[in-house]
Amino acid sequence: MYAATESEMAYESTAWGHGLFTRYFLEAINNASLYDEDGILTTNRIQDYIARETAKESKFKQNPVIENRSAGYYPFAFSADTSLTQDPSLEEVAVVDEVGRATVAPATLVDRLYFPAIPVPIRERVQAALKELLLQTLMRAVEEFQQADYIVTTGENLRVFPNEADEKVTRSIVERAKTRGLDAVNQLFYTEQRSNKGHGISSRGWLDTFIHQNQNAPSFESVIRWTDDNIAAYSLYLQSSDVQKVSGGIVVIVYQAVYGIGLASALFSREFTGYEEGQVTGVASSLKAFKVHEQLLANVEHGILEIIAAFKSQLGRWNKTRQQQIEAFDNNAQ
């Protein structure tokens, strides 16, 4: 296999210490789900995984080239771990009742503390329960925002946000995770470098060439791997139809951290002038960490409710500022 076609650039990141292609190769050989029932990992499965994930992650700007000359059922690796079965200590998964509050039936989600190591089956069950809890808790908040005369759009990840908000929110969350040191599994948050090619000496001289080269200096882009099963995110975009209120958005994310669970959020405002929406401002993010134990669902739910309450308060402050601006104009206008 080759990392990319001749006309494409192979992406690299300092966070990984290698390229995008190598990243998914390492993931493939460590991905238990790719091994068959006999514990065998074939070259075909590795190639399919690398090609698919690399293309998706790069938004199809890097497409690995496959030249397969293997014959028959060719094993590339063997799994020595045959214990990837359900953990006997894991009880039934939590469910969410009609009002969206976490309940567990018939016992707790987990019966003890898992720290710092968390078995894969525990992570999978916990993530499924947290994803459902997140959705139900946010849906309760939608009704309150609708009653405040907002047009509310909901969706997974950041799909409901304008492009400008998408980029700013992603950058804020990735930088916050890096600052806090709350690393996610599978490098869910990372920053990649994109190099821009120069075009030689300008006909206008060295000064123009120097300026042009600086404009083409390597840039960095923050990335969140939304398609990974270890992350779940839901967003609310509140569109104002009243000039005295701003539009705004919030995203809440639950993800598998290396030693537990991470709960991230980001919010922003967007001014509504009465006939169009303005620029995205006020982007801010937060991050909370949780250990995996019996009180995990209750603790995470409390964290989500705190995030929603903080967003409501901030929305109120934004709207108050908008109303003061209108009053100031009214008092000074003839």
Asked if residue 205 has pLDDT above 80, the reply is no
Is 249:277 a contact under the CB 8 Å cutoff?
no
Residue 164 reports pLDDT greater than 70: yes
Mean pLDDT of 30-40: 78
228-249 average pLDDT score: 93
Cis omega (within 30 of 0) on the bond before 75? no
The mean predicted confidence, pLDDT, of the chain is 81
pLDDT value of residue 153: 94
* pLDDT above 70 as % of the chain: 79
Predicted confidence (pLDDT) at residue 138 exceeds the cutoff of 70: yes
Average pLDDT on 269-279 reads: 78
Whose structure tokens read 């720290």? Answer: 115
Report CA 123 to chain centroid distance, whole Å.
17
Instruction: Name the helix (H) or strand (E) containing 235.
Output: strand 231-239
Q: Is the pLDDT of residue 334 over 50?
A: yes
Confidence of residue 216 (pLDDT cuts 50, 70, 90): low
DSSP assignment of 233-274 equals: EEEEEEE--STTS-EEEEEEEEEEBSSSEEEEEEEEEEEE-S
- Of residues 77 and 210, the one with the higher pLDDT is 77
The pLDDT score that the predictor gives to residue 180 is 85
Give the pLDDT band (50/70/90) at residue 99.
very low
Do the Cβ atoms of 24 and 53 come closer than 8 Å? yes
Q: How confident is the model at residue 215 (pLDDT cuts 50, 70, 90)?
A: low
Residue 88 has a pLDDT of: 37
Mean pLDDT within 301-313 = 95
pLDDT tops 80 at residue 94: no
Query: For the packed helices 296-332 and 120-147, what is the interaxial angle rounded to 10 degrees?
Result: 30
User: What is the DSSP-derived secondary structure letter of residue 227?
Assistant: T
Cα–Cα distance for residue pair 4/20, rounded to 1 Å: 10
| 314-331 tens-digit pLDDT | 999 999 999 999 999 999
pLDDT value at position 80? 54
Work out the pLDDT band at 279, boundaries 50, 70, 90.
Answer: confident
Which residues, 6 or more positions from 290, have their beta carbon under 8 angstroms from its beta carbon? 260, 261, 262, 263, 296, 299, 300, 303
Q: Quick one: pLDDT band at residue 89, thresholds 50, 70, 90?
A: very low
For residue 290, name the pLDDT band (cuts at 50, 70, 90).
Answer: very high
- The encoded tokens of residue 259 equal 């030693």
Q: What per-residue confidence (pLDDT) applies to 106?
A: 35
Question: Which residues are registered as beta bridge partners of 330?
Answer: none
Pick from 53-67, 143-157, 251-265 the range whose average pLDDT is largest.
251-265
Higher-scoring residue by pLDDT: 40, 17: 40
Q: What is the percent of the chain with per-residue pLDDT over 90, rounded to a whole number?
A: 42
